[in-house]
Amino acid sequence: MRYAETGFNLEVDLSRGNIERVETDPRLTELYLGGLGTNTKMLWDRVPPETDPFSPDNLLIFSSGLLGGTLAPGANRTIVTTISPQTRLLAFSMMGGFWAPELKYAGYDKVILRGKSPDLVYLYINNDKVEIRDASHLSGKGSNETAELIREELQDPRIQVSAIGLAGENRVFFASIEQGRSSASRGGIGAVMGDKGVKAIAVRGTRDVNVARPAEFMELCSRVLQFIKDRESKPIPGVMPILAGLGSPQEMKLIDEEWHTTNFMWGNSRTRRKDFWTKEIEEKWRGTQESVRKRLISCYNCPMKCGATISMPGVATYMMKCFTKLTYTMAAYSDLDFGFRIAQRATEYGVDGFSAPQVMAFALELHEKGILTDNDMQGMPSDNEEKFYWLLDRIVRREGIGDILADGTYWAAQKIGKGAEEYAHNNIKKQEQLPLKLGMLNPVYFLMYSTGEKINITQIEGQFPQSPFATKEETEDFIKDWIQVPDEKFKDYLRKWEFRGEFSNPNYPDAQASCDIVDWQEMMHYIDDAVGMCAGLSSFPLKPPYHIHNYPAFISAAAGFDVDEASLTRITRRNRNLVRAVNVRRGLRRADEKPPEDHWKKRFPELEAKLLDAYYQFKGWDNDGIPTKETLKDLDLAYVAEDFEQRGIIKNGQS
C-alpha cells in the first residue's frame, strides 16, 4: 500500500483524446517527495529545452503535494508546473482552496496534460470515471462562472473546479488559473492551459488517503493546531499587523496599508507617494472594505481565514485574498472601491493580479510620453478608472494595442520599440514584480530577487524578519522562543543587525549571513512546494507551526519512509538544483539574475557582485550560476551532469 500519496497519476493526451491511469515509482517520492519535486523531474525527462511553451510537447502538470488531502492543517496546495510563455523558463505556481485534496480523494496525485485539443474541452474526474467533455458552451465565460456552470451541468455542488477565463483562452502571457478562493497566477500558466484547449478541470473524489502511522500523525496535527491557537493569540510586536500573525498577509482581515501605499509605486511611475496614507484615507478604506467583505474564508482543512467573500452593488460576488485589492487601486492611482470592483472582472477574465495592473499602467505611461499614440489607443475613455477597464478588456481579447500588451511589459516593449524598453523597468527575468520603491539595498532581498526560480518575492521570503527590530529589547524578546531556526547562528545574525545604514546587514562585507538566511528561507519554500503545504503556515510567516524540526516527523509518519532533518535538507537541495538545471538548460545565466535597477534608491554594484559570487559558491554552482558536476553527482543528479556535458554547458573534465 502507498501512504500519503495515491501512487497513481492521470495522463491525458489531448491531441489523441487518450486518458491513462499510470502507476508511479515510489522511489521518486523518496528522492523528490512530490509536488514541485516530482513535477520538475517529469518536465526534465519529458520536455526538451528547445520546446516552445505553446508546443504540444510542453506539459501542464497539476499536482497535489505529498501531504495534500491528509489531516495536516493547511496541506491543500495545488502545484501547477509548466514552461512559461512569459519567462520561457520553468513556471510553478501554487493555489489553495479544495482542488488538490479532492484530486487525492479521486485517486490521483497528478493530472498531466500533453498535446492540444482541436476543440475547447473540460476534463471531468470522478474517481475512476474520467472524461474529456465538450466545453464549446463555456467559451468566453468567466472563470468563476465556468465553475458554477459545470457544477450545474454535472448536478453536483461539491465538485471542485480549476478554470481559465477569457485571458487563458486567448493565451495572454500573464493569464491565471482560477479556483474560486485561490489561483495559480504567475508565469502565464493559464495561457498554456488555454493553448491546450482546456477550459477547466472538474474533480470529485470519495476515496480515502492512507497514512502510515495514524496515531503518531494525528498527535502531530493536534500539536500544530494548538500551536496555531497559541501563536495567533500572541502577534509579534514591532511587525506590521498584517504580518504579525500567521497565514497569508491578513489584507482582508485588517486595514494596514501605510507601508504598501507609501513604498509601492503608484501607476507605473518611478516615484512613491510618501504623503498618501492619512487617518482620513485609512478610515475611508476601512469603511469600504468592511462594507464589501461579507465573511472571512479559509481553504481546505485550515483554521486561518486569509481570504474573504466580496460583494458589491452591481458586481457578482467573488473571493479575494492578499494584495490584489491594492495592485489595481495603485496602478490607477485611485481608491479602494475601484480596486475591489476591477479585481472582480480581472478574476473572471483570469489574469495575474501583479502583472495585469502594471501592464495597463505601463501602456498609459507610454501614451503620456508619446511612445503610444492616440491612434494606438483609439477609443480609450478619458476617465482615469474607465481607462483601466478599457485596457483590461482589450488585453484579454487581444484587440488592437491589447494584442501587444497581452505579452507583458517586457515583450510588449520589444514590439513597440521607440524607447519603450526603458519603461518596462519592473521586471525580473521578463516577469513583472511587486512595484516596490525602497531606500537602502537589502542584501538578503537582493539575493532572493535575483536568484529565486519562482521569480516572485512574496513566495521566496520567509521566516527571517524583513527588517531589524527597533531596540535590543525587542530583538531579545523575539529570539527567546524562536524555536524554528535551523541553527543558533541565525539568532546572532538578528542580534547584529542594525536598524539603519549601509552596514545595517550582518553580512557586510562578508556575505555568509545573507547566504545562510536565503538558503534557509528557500529550503522551507521548497519543502512546502513538495508536500503541498500553504506557505502561510510554514515558509512565509515568522515563527510558524511547521518548520525544519517537525517536518521530518510529519513526512515519516504520513509516507512511511524515514526522514530526518539532514535527509530532508538534502531532498530540498536536490529539488532546488533540479529546478535550476531545467532553467539553465533553457538558457538562464548570471546575466539574467538582477532585480529592477530602481528597486532600491541606493545600490552597491561591487557588493552585489560579491553577493552573487558568494551565493553561487555556497550553492555549489559555478560563477555563471550553473550547478557543478560535483554538486549534481553529490545530490544524485548525475543524469543532469551528463546532459550538461553532452550539451557543452559543463565542459568535459570540469568539476
Residue 79 main-chain phi, psi, to 5 deg: -105, 115
Using a pLDDT cut of 70, give the percent of the chain over it.
96
pLDDT value, residue 107: 98
Q: In this structure, how many other beta carbons lie within 10 angstroms of the beta carbon of residue 233?
A: 8
C-alpha cell at 351: 489574469
Asked if pLDDT for residue 269 goes beyond 70, the answer is no
CA distance 46 to 214: 36
CA-nearest of 430, 377, 366 to 399 is 377
59, 589 contact by CB (below 8 A): no
147-178 as b/e, with b when 16 or more CB fall inside 10 Å?
bbbbbeebeeeebbbbbbbbbbbbbbbbbbbb
In sequence order, the 6+-apart residues with CB closer than 8 A to the CB of 240 are 256, 259
Asked if pLDDT for residue 502 goes beyond 50, the answer is no
Own/partner pairs, 315-318, CB within 8 angstroms, 24+ separation = 315/340, 315/341, 315/344, 316/144, 316/145, 316/344, 316/348, 318/144, 318/343, 318/344, 318/347, 318/348
Own/partner pairs, 227-232, CB within 8 angstroms, 24+ separation = 227/545, 228/73, 228/303, 228/304, 228/537, 228/545, 229/303, 231/543, 231/544, 231/545
In sequence order, the 6+-apart residues with CB closer than 8 A to the CB of 65 are 33, 34, 35, 36, 75, 77, 79, 100, 528, 529, 530, 531, 532, 533
**How remote is the C-alpha of 547 from its chain's centroid?**
19
pLDDT value, residue 69: 96
CA distance 395 to 417: 19
Q: In this structure, how many other beta carbons lie within 10 angstroms of the beta carbon of residue 356?
A: 34
C-alpha cell at 585: 538548460
655 burial level (CB within 10 Å; 0-12, 13-18, 19+):
exposed
The amino acid at 201: I
Q: In this structure, how many other beta carbons lie within 10 angstroms of the beta carbon of residue 68?
A: 30
pLDDT value, residue 655: 59
190, 177 contact by CB (below 8 A): yes
pLDDT by residue (tens digit) across 393-437? Answer: 999 999 999 999 999 999 999 999 999 999 998 899 999 988 888
CA distance 482 to 489: 12
CA-nearest of 579, 572, 562 to 635 is 572
82, 91 contact by CB (below 8 A): yes
Does the pTM exceed 0.85?
Answer: yes
The amino acid at 248: S
> What are the angstrom distances between the C-alpha of 296 and each of 102, 235, 276, 323, 475?
22, 19, 28, 15, 32
Average pLDDT, the chain: 93
C-alpha cell at 53: 511553451
CA distance 566 to 467: 29
67, 4 contact by CB (below 8 A): yes
- Please state the domain extents for the chain: 8-204, 237-354, 365-426, 438-647
CA distance 71 to 143: 29
Q: In this structure, how many other beta carbons lie within 10 angstroms of the beta carbon of residue 514?
A: 25
Per-residue pLDDT band at 494 (split at 50, 70, 90): very high
CATH code of 8-204, in short, is 3.60.9.10
281, 291 contact by CB (below 8 A): no
pLDDT by residue (tens digit) across 40-86? Answer: 999 999 999 999 999 999 999 999 999 999 999 999 999 999 999 99
The DSSP element (H or E) to which 570 belongs, if any, is: helix 565-585
Asked if pLDDT for residue 500 goes beyond 60, the answer is no
Residue indicated by cell numbers 476543440: 119
CA distance 217 to 215: 5
Asked if pLDDT for residue 651 goes beyond 60, the answer is yes
Asked if pLDDT for residue 90 goes beyond 90, the answer is yes
Asked if pLDDT for residue 268 goes beyond 80, the answer is no
What is the tally of helices (H) and strands (E) in the chain? 24, 19
C-alpha cell at 316: 457578482
Q: Side-chain half-sphere of 468: how many Cα atoms within 13 Å?
A: 22
CA distance 514 to 517: 5
**How remote is the C-alpha of 482 from its chain's centroid?**
26
For residue 329, the SS3 value is helix
pLDDT value, residue 652: 67
CA distance 174 to 187: 6
Q: In this structure, how many other beta carbons lie within 10 angstroms of the beta carbon of residue 312?
A: 15
Average pLDDT of span 477-494: 95
Average pLDDT of span 173-198: 96
Average pLDDT of span 577-606: 93
CA-nearest of 95, 78, 77, 98 to 157 is 98
Average pLDDT of span 367-377: 97
CATH code of 237-354, in short, is 1.10.569.10
Per-residue pLDDT band at 505 (split at 50, 70, 90): low
Q: How long is the chain?
A: 655
User: Peptide bond preceding 249: is omega within 30 degrees of 0, i.e. cis?
Assistant: no
Helical ranges in 233-320 per DSSP H? 258-263, 279-292
User: 310 - beta bridge partners?
Assistant: 293, 318
For residue 30, the SS3 value is helix
CA distance 165 to 350: 5
DSSP notation for 539-560:
TSSSS-S--TTTHHHHHHHHHS
424-439 as b/e, with b when 16 or more CB fall inside 10 Å?
bbbbbbbbbbbbbbee
CA distance 132 to 123: 5
Architecture of domain 438-647 in this structure: Orthogonal Bundle (1.10)
